[in-house]
Structure 1
């Protein structure tokens, strides 16, 4: 059943307090039709839905801010803790690495325990990690600060799969893409603040005691915000509205959880060729964004020494432009439903933006870098909600939490690979070579996005034959 055939809403599911999970495979078209003919269930949209999604966005913001807070002042933390740049890169990559093994058990918990439990665990882990970092503001305590970052990275696993679930459980059929974009918006805004604030709070001073004081202030501010948001989640965050927002969500509450198999859902997704192609292309695009974000300080400092603050501002420009792109794409999808066409267009423009950024970085004019970085961010970061919504379109009637988990897992894998490879290429050659490395993979992703499975299989066979003939 295609999403375009469903007038009620986007496909929805979600764990509720009475553990009645909606398995879309269990609800047949005949049952839904019968339900509509007899007595349509009462539906209602609550104003609190906006409080829920904005509260989620806030603690997602606090967590994603910490992802990049070390990398954007890479050179400063290298000197403070006495470690090399690759070690500081792992302060960002640990977010990616932790996600890969934990996404499946966390997605299972989201299905079984519901939104409130997952929100509480995420906010608690994030708060704990920030206070561990407060105790690590000494040059000999790098393992402690890494432990704090690891704890926050575990919290991220509980956060990334929630936007689509919140949107489907709380919002009406014409608001799902917009609500999902708002959920992603918080994560992006956190990254933007992570680019902007650390270079301001932690200046590149020579005295290590003074530097430690600046770092401690930054950690205390983060811990205070995380604690406040944890308390808000405990008090405010609600599992679901009393009356469902859509007829499909009403049907979800009447389906027994025994009808849903998480393992079977994953198997069905892995056999969906169109979805697997999306998993690959999403991973390539977002993995490139992760690599650019993690290595941005090194790129800027190489060509513009002493410009740590402007490196942060360039990162801010990338993400702010991306947030605008995300919201525009979310609103456009709600109205047009042109998933593949929009995804392909944005992917192609991400490639164009990356090429422009690569060839203008070393021109010696920071204002040019700001413009090209903003162009790159508008399309590359704006692609994030497109991937989630296109996945829902391709995988109906599977759980949005499971499909988004697989998308994010792909992004983390490619993010680690691209960050390591680009960093090594930059060390061996220059930043242009490293950025062209990413351009090559964005080109591959664009081709895959625009091609059918049959064409890709044909190209794969032809490539294999050419290689075989050249090297028998």
Structure 2
């Protein structure tokens, strides 16, 4: 399934020639499919971190502890470990269309369920509904984030795969960026919480509507390339067994899976890491915005470069090395006080180098694991990433003696 080497015009011309000889064809509705998956991924990410930027207000309103608020984000990582294997089977056995529709339904249902505590009166334990809704959204996540690589392989020609993968993959961090910026804008007081929850239902409902009405088939009637034509995929268990014997895939999965774990923890807990060292929650949100914004820019640039040159392996190696250096720099500087400029710059570089390799890694995972199904090749990487990020939630903030309190820390439920 490896794409042709050379410049983009030569790759496009080669694909066009094969299309004439081999009967390959691309369909305009592939962009509709990509739009649905991108919107679904964006919505799922906003639901994931919508509570984190306004954690203190949510905790006061529902009488929850900081640890419970952390679980509303961490449940995504916990649920994705067992459900990830099921999602891989669904994608490669049931098909991309039904997997996307199921993911859209779970995502929409979860967004509605977590809003019930604000709609109904007299609910004894709102945390159960909040966590239940987030859990359904977490189940949808595994179907959503595994899909771009499979969609790119089945619907797009070889010279557009990395770009399509980049668009579908980067919709997720874009949703994280929007949640970090939008939640504090929407929630000024506790009375604004229903407005926030209702706002995040809208893109989830639109994604479910488009998935139901606009997706007609899992694969195009005619494959867009020779690689797509040969994408017969092994059986589920046979594919997993083959992946465990693929040295190149194991190295990629461990390296990139660890990166996913680091970035997931970074996104969910950035505020708590910085606030204990005297930085404000507003500055933490700004660093998170830089992290995502520069990451999207880096992904766009690298995705276009890889589509043009097909230098997937070189891009991954350089990107992961630079990301490691940025991680070390953040680990050191984040423990220092009074370094806002350096922290903002490091977060920007961390996003630029780290997020840019994500779509390329997904494409390379599919390339180096053929003939294993695209869902299994991309999915196992994310399952490893979720396992790396999984762990007990942070305890309530412990500030140094005399340090200013960055924001009110709510008391656990049941205390006066």
TM-score (norm 1): 0.75
Find out whether 1:95 has 2:76 as its counterpart.
Answer: yes
Mapped pair 1:189 → 2:174? yes
Deviations 1:114-143 (A, max 9, x none): 111111111111111111111123794111
> How far apart are 1:388 and its partner, in Å?
1.2
Q: Out of 127, 142, 150, which is 1:157 matched to? A: 142
Cα shift readout 1:194-216 (whole Å, capped 9, x = no counterpart): 2111122123x4xxxxx0x2111
Contact preservation (8 Å) 2:234, 2:373: no
Which residue does the alignment assign to 1:470? none
Higher relative contact order (CA 8 A, sep 6+): 2
2:209 pairs with 1:231 = yes
Alpha-carbon distance in structure 2 between the residues aligned to 1:425 and 1:269: 41
Matching of residue 297 in structure 1 with residue 271 in structure 2: yes
Distance 2:367 2:187 in 1: 44
Q: Give the Cα–Cα distance (whole angstroms) in 2 for the partners of residues 222 and 147 of structure 1.
A: 16
Q: 1:243 matched to which residue of 2?
A: 222
Deviates more, 1:345-354 or 1:133-142: 133-142
Distance 2:59 2:286 in 1: 20
Change (3 A) 1:311 1:269: same
- CA shift for structure 1 position 64: 1.0
Q: Distance in 2 between matches of 1:387 and 1:248?
A: 18
Q: 1:303 to 1:76 in 2, by over 3 A?
A: farther
Match of 2:385 among 404, 411, 427: 411
1:215 aligns to 2:167 (yes or no): no
Judged with a 3 Å threshold, the aligned counterparts in structure 2 of structure 1 residues 156 and 363 are, in CA distance, closer, same or farther, namely same
Deviation per CA, 1:235-259: give whole Å up to 9, x if none. 112323333211343455xx6xxx8
* 2:333 aligned partner: 360
1:268 and 2:226 correspond: no
Query: How far apart, CA to CA, are the structure 2 residues paired with 1:161 and 1:381?
Result: 16
Matched, 1:135 2:113: no
Partner of 2:154: 169
**Structure 2: how far apart are the matches of 1:285 and 1:336?**
24
Contact 1:350 1:376 in 2 (8 A): yes
Partner of 2:407: none
In structure 1, the partner of 2:410 is: none
Given the alignment of the two structures, is residue 331 of structure 1 paired with residue 304 of structure 2, yes or no?
Answer: yes
- Do 2:5 and 2:310's aligned partners in 1 also have CA atoms closer than 8 Å? no
Give 5+ residue unaligned stretches, structure 2. 7-17, 402-416
Distance 1:348 1:81 in 2: 43
Which residue is 1:53 aligned to? 34
- Quote the Cα distance in structure 1 between the aligned partners of 2:54 and 2:242: 43
Give 1:14-93 correspondences, 5 Å limit. Answer: 40-93=21-74
Kept in 2, the 8 Å contact 1:74–1:298? The answer is no
Q: Classify the secondary structure of the residue corresponding to 1:3.
A: coil
Structure 1 residue 5: Cα displacement: 7.1
1:340 aligned to 2:287?
no
Give a deviation string over 1:139-184, Cα, whole Å, max 9, x none.
Answer: 9411111111111111111111100111111111111111111110
Matches of 2:264 and 2:316 in 1, distance apart? 19
| TM-score, scaled relative to structure 2 | 0.85
Match of 1:106 in 2: 87
Q: Is contact 2:316-2:361 (8 Å) kept?
A: yes
Counterpart contact for 2:258–2:385, Cα < 8 Å: yes
- 1:42-92 deviations in Å (ceiling 9; x for gaps): 122222222221221011100111111122333333333333323222211
* Gap change, CA 1:216 and 1:243, over 3 Å in 2: same
How many residue pairs end up in the alignment?
A: 384
Deviation at 1:429, TM superposition (A): 8.9
Which one of 278, 303, 317 corresponds to residue 290 of structure 2?
Answer: 317
Structure of greater Rg: 1
1:379 to 353, 375, 379: 353
Question: Are residues 402 and 331 of structure 1, via their aligned partners in 2, closer, same or farther at CA, if it must alter by over 3 Å?
Answer: same
Q: 2:257 aligns with which of 273, 283, 289?
A: 283
Residue of structure 1 aligned with 2:130, choices 122, 145, 153: 145
Q: Is the Cα contact below 8 Å between 2:256 and 2:381 reproduced in 1?
A: yes
- Please give the alpha-carbon distance, in whole angstroms, between the structure 1 residues aligned to 2:270 and 2:181: 12
Contact 1:73 1:297 in 2 (8 A): no
Task: Give the conservation status (yes or no) of the 8 Å contact 2:148–2:168.
Answer: yes
Which shows bigger deviation, 291-300 or 384-393? 384-393
